[in-house]
Amino acid sequence: MTIGIIGAGIAGLTAGRILAKAGHEVIIFEKSRGYGGRMATRYFHEDHSVKADHGAGFFTADSEEFKSFISELEDKELVKEWTQDLGYHDGKELLSKHPNRESQSFYVAPNGINSIGKYLSRWVDVKLEERVSGITLIGGSPVKKKQWMLNLQSFNTYELDAIIIATPGVQAYGLVQTAQDETAVRKLIREIDEITYNPSYSVMFGYEGAETPDWKAFSSNNAKISFVANESSKRDTGSELVLVAHSSADFARSNSKMDSVQVAETISAELGSIIGNWATRPAWAQVHYWRYSSAIKNLKMPFMELEDHPAPLALIGDYFEKPGVEGAFLSGYKLAHHWLNKFKSKR
């Protein structure tokens, strides 16, 4: 089959790799310039010598499927164990370990977490900077004609046997609506209608010549800052200390229109109150606003698809069974293996 996947995050790339290795033709359409979705890395300086993961910057593993994938990445030297405990700021002091969280392995990517997306893209045809505007059911014989037409904002179209939508739930909702004339498709719309997201600001700071803290990262109950990562503990950042502060959802929601300079100043001032006044004076700062940072509600299933329908369509992502990097991976993994079994005769 010729399968189109919308979204080059880890869910879409994982599903795409499995299906492509099984012999299907897979084309992934990604609206941005890079791979990985929220597994994003920003580069700094002309030589790109400094990197900062400003989305999902680390991950854990509970399932055997994801542990096996991590072992593959470790063999390729793409990931490493970072720490077994994250710190916690309780509002008064910075603790070395969260009092209510058990120790577990946290993994990071020394070359930037987007390197995982780049690695997964080797098995599929990824078309970057291609925004999908809609999908159209064109029907016909499953043998003689493709079932779907995918429409791009560039006015190009692709005829496909199957479509996987691997975007945040809100964006998936909008795409599925473009084909809502079908009763089966409307059922999918009802299922994802209530998926909403918390927003977040990620603020990247560089401190020239600053001493590297002994902590890797910490969460916080602060009203403005929810999490801080020490990027210089993941990789060599030269003479610069690089920190990434993630705002609370409430701060991002209340200040979504705030100028980026104001965001950086506000967050650096708050960061200084937590780790020391020196943090209020970064050499540089960059801000990224994540509109769909984390799903508020997750669906109690690994994926969703049109059932008993001649035109295969499925939704995957981290808004299904399990949130986070592992959840997105498992969603794509389980859908791909389900389809391999379901469509084993269609190559």
295-309: pLDDT as tens digits: 998 999 999 998 878
> Does the pLDDT of residue 253 top 90, yes or no?
yes
Per-residue pLDDT at 141 exceeds 80 = no
Q: Is-contact 241 211, C-beta < 8 A?
A: yes
Structure confidence at residue 57 (pLDDT): 94
Q: CB–CB of 217/87 below 8 Å?
A: yes
How far apart are alpha carbons 312 and 148 in whole angstroms? 9
Mean pLDDT value of segment 330-347: 88
115 pLDDT exceeds 80?
Answer: yes
For 259-271, what is the mean pLDDT? 97
Tokens of 49: 């010598």
Phi, psi of 309, deg, nearest 5? -135, 140
Sequence-ordered list of residues with C-beta below 8 angstroms from that of 335, at least 6 positions apart, any chain? 15, 164, 302, 303, 305, 314, 316
Please name which of 258, 272, 292 lies closest in space to residue 205, comparing C-alpha atoms.
272
156-189: pLDDT as tens digits: 999 999 999 999 999 999 998 888 666 677 778 8
Predicted pLDDT at 91: 87
3-state DSSP call for residue 105? coil
CATH 3.50.50.60 domain extents, the chain = 2-37+118-195+297-342
Q: What values do phi and psi take at 275, rounded to 5?
A: -115, -5
CATH 3.90.660.10 maps onto the chain at 58-108+197-295
**10-21 helix and 324-342 helix, angle to the nearest 10 degrees:** 30
pTM: 0.93
Average pLDDT value for residue range 311-327: 95
Is it true that domain 58-108+197-295 has CATH number 3.90.660.10?
A: yes
- Domain 2-37+118-195+297-342 in CATH 3.40.50.970? The answer is no
- The radius of gyration of the chain from alpha carbons, rounded to an integer in Å, stands at 21
Helix (H, G, I), strand (E, B) or coil at 254: helix
